[in-house]
Amino acid sequence: MIAMSLYATEVNQLTAAWLRRTEGAGVLSGAGLWPLLAVLASSADEPGRDELAAAVGLSADESMDAARDVLKALADLDGVDAALGLWAQQAAQVRPEWRDTLPSGTFGELTGDAAVDQPVLDAWARERTHGLIERFPVQAGPELMLTLATALALRTTWQRKFSDEPWQVSGGVWAGRRLAGLQRTTPDADDLRVADSAAGPLTLTRVAGDNGLDVHLVLGEEGAASGDVLAAAVPLVAGDAAVTGGAALLESGDVARWPGVSTVSAQRPGLVLRTARFTVRSLHDLLRQADVFGLRAVSTGDRDHFPAIGPVPLRVDQARQAAVAIFSATGFEAAAVTAIGLRAVSMPVYRAQAVAVSYDRPFGFLAVHRESGLVLFAGWVDSPEDWSGASQRERPQPGAMRDRLPRHPAQ
């Protein structure tokens, strides 16, 4: 757990930056993406190296070690499975010494045939997420020279379960809907916390799992941008910003100004929580926000961005995350598969044309004095010599032939 305490701030910063650029319903995992960016940062040259390091929040020189530490720490968490996968075509010529620096994981070969490769990648995604993610987010094919991926799966059971009941919502955008409601009453009012933030007043409610994993429900002011609300909540749930607990809120009587908060009559102090079941799925194209993830430089240009990987020039061609989250009366489960695909850099395309000629049958020759145009020698080659190493070494030097040529009787 030391690694997570060391790098939680950096991972959270990436998550918050991503959230600020995300609007609407969806689910994402900065923890699933961060190790991949760290691996790329350590493997890239400039200018992509600095861009990736900035997104990771560490120097490129320490990023590979950090990626290994974070993936191991995630996998060691109770209720969490984390895995890394690398697949490459033989034509990518991946350096063994680079592969040996990667976090331990699955290493496989790509054939370049999507009909063969895609089922293998899809099966890995399903197996590593307990069936929550059915399809690998990067598309296989002849241009996919290498893909690096993480799979992250989380499961927890609530310490206190909810009761299932229909919920008729009376106001807001859900007015008139009959939802799959969840309700429970717990004695700890401080599971509710409120705070002022850059996104306005926020209300957060902790739902504790039985294996050390919690889910925090977050509500902002009506009309507040979802990305801003969630990004502002990140430091609050991480303990990096001040919050007011529900018990203190009850004592102060300052309840009405906080989103979704009210008071009800009860036999004893505590917290009554009502929410709804949900399943959310997302597929994120990370290259649409390449600047957030440090992927701008390494995904453009006809040059090699990752010389550490191998001699074949490579650039990022695909970067996607598939994610799902399921909240029910008994618990919570979520999974994400994040993959980055690299392709060989295209060689320059020359627009001009040139002619070519091959003397591959008997041909003649002329020896001409350039200035006067005088033809000094003329001849025909009907039987050129065959290659022989010995004959090439023993070939007489120019001028030596004069002593060997028979002299004409007139001379």
**Topology, domain 2-157+279-344:** Antithrombin; Chain I, domain 2 (3.30.497)
Closest CA to 32 of 337, 238, 322: 337
Which helix (H) or strand (E) segment holds residue 248: the answer is helix 246-252
Closest CA to 83 of 14, 129, 120, 39: 129
Could you tell me which CATH class the domain 163-276 is placed in? mainly beta
Which helix (H) or strand (E) segment holds residue 51: the answer is helix 48-56
Q: What is the rounded distance in angstroms from the CA atom of residue 134 to the CA atom of residue 131? A: 6
Q: What is the rounded distance in angstroms from the CA atom of residue 377 to the CA atom of residue 370? A: 13
Phi/psi at 132 (5° precision): -70, -35
Q: What is the rounded distance in angstroms from the CA atom of residue 65 to the CA atom of residue 102? A: 9
Cα 121 to the center of its chain, rounded Å: 15
With b meaning 16 or more CB within 10 Å and e meaning fewer, what string describes 150-174?
bbbbbbbebeeebeeeebeeeeeee
- pLDDT, position 388: 61
- Enumerate the domain spans of the chain: 2-157+279-344, 163-276, 363-396
SS3 194: strand
- pLDDT, position 289: 94
CA dihedral sign, ordered 392, 397, 399, 402: negative
Q: What is the rounded distance in angstroms from the CA atom of residue 155 to the CA atom of residue 143? A: 36
Sequential pLDDT tens for the chain (411 residues) = 455 566 888 999 999 999 999 887 789 999 999 999 999 999 999 999 999 999 999 999 999 999 999 999 899 988 999 999 999 999 999 999 999 999 888 899 999 999 999 999 999 999 999 999 999 999 999 999 999 999 999 999 999 999 998 988 888 888 888 888 999 999 999 999 999 999 898 898 989 999 989 998 898 888 888 888 889 889 888 888 888 888 888 888 888 888 888 888 877 888 999 899 899 999 999 999 999 999 999 999 878 899 999 999 999 999 999 999 999 999 999 999 999 999 998 644 445 566 666 666 775 555 655 664 554 456 565 566 666 654 444 444 444 434 433 444 333
Cα 103 to the center of its chain, rounded Å: 15
With b meaning 16 or more CB within 10 Å and e meaning fewer, what string describes 254-287?
eeeebbebeeeeeeeebbebebeeeeeebebebb
- pLDDT, position 359: 61
Amino acid at 35: P
- Residue 269: is the preceding peptide bond cis (ω within 30°)? no
Q: What angle do CA 169, 171, 173 make, to 5 degrees?
A: 90
CA dihedral sign, ordered 58, 64, 65, 68: positive
Place of tokens 């895609």: 118
pLDDT tens column, 73-101: 899 988 999 999 999 999 999 999 999 99
- pLDDT, position 393: 46
- pLDDT, position 352: 58
The radius of gyration of the chain's CA atoms, rounded to the nearest angstrom, is 34
Please say whether the beta carbons of 279 and 24 come within 8 A.
no
- pLDDT, position 392: 46
Locate the DSSP E strands across 158-213: 163-168, 178-186, 192-197, 200-208
